[in-house]
Amino acid sequence: MENNNRNKMKRNLVKNLSVLLLLTGCTGQSNYEKAIADFVQTDKRGTWTDLQFKVIEMGEPTNITVKDSISILTEKFDAEKSKRLAMLNESIARNKKSMEKERFTSMKEFYQKLIDKNQVLVDSLTRTSVELPDAYKNAAETTVLAKEVTCKFTIVNPMLNNAKQEITENFILNAAGDKCYRRNSKKK
């Protein structure tokens, strides 16, 4: 009788451990899937529509750290700054050409004012640098802020006569992986 009880207890223990391992092994992926499914099926106004979302394939999530985020912010700032500087410098060059061709003093003064105004903007913009959020200043570079995951999925869109669509996109989720911030088309 005692042996029988021990065997039952062992079987129950093994069964419970198996269920626990199965559940814990799936929670990470299901968190990502749920966050992505909710995000894909919710419009900008917060209305959820059942699009029969099904994951075909999900890549391994990659961490986005404070260091990565600083790099992204810096690159974006520098690109915008370069674009703006190029526009201002082109305007200065164009106004200088117009001023050289001009015969009337009043028009030369007009062009000079435009050149001076744009030059002040160029000088000011040249001295600027990216301003990071305060939270980044004391954070370790390795602190995980978000996760990026590539997901291939299907949806059935009622707006397209219930046509099934297969889509591959990159998703940015919070560090825990349970909330999706945005999605981007997969770059090829």
Model confidence pLDDT, tens digit, residues 43-89: 999 999 999 999 999 999 999 999 999 999 999 999 999 999 999 99
Residue type, 169: E
Return all residues near 79 (Cβ < 8 A) that are at least 6 apart.
Answer: none
Dump pLDDT digits (tens) for 23-41.
Answer: 334 444 578 999 999 999 9
The fraction of the chain above a pLDDT of 90, given in percent, is 73
Q: Are 141 and 46 in contact (CB under 8 A)?
A: no
Q: Residue 180 has which token pair?
A: 């999706």
Q: Residue 20 has which token pair?
A: 């626990």
Count of residues making up the chain? 188
Identify the residue whose tokens are 């992926």: 29
Average pLDDT over residues 82-105: 95
- The pLDDT mean for the chain works out to 85
CA distances from 91 to 70, 99, 119 (A): 31, 12, 10
Average pLDDT over residues 102-126: 96
DSSP conformation letters of 64-99: EEHHHHHHHHHHHHHHHHHHHHHHHHHHHHHHHHHH
User: Which of 47-51, 115-119, 156-160, 178-182 has the least mean pLDDT?
Assistant: 156-160
- Please say if the pLDDT value at position 19 is more than 90: no
If pLDDT is split at 50, 70 and 90, which confidence band does 162 have?
Answer: confident
The residue among 162 and 39 whose pLDDT is bigger is: 39
If pLDDT is split at 50, 70 and 90, which confidence band does 14 have?
Answer: very low
> Given this model, what pLDDT does residue 2 score?
57
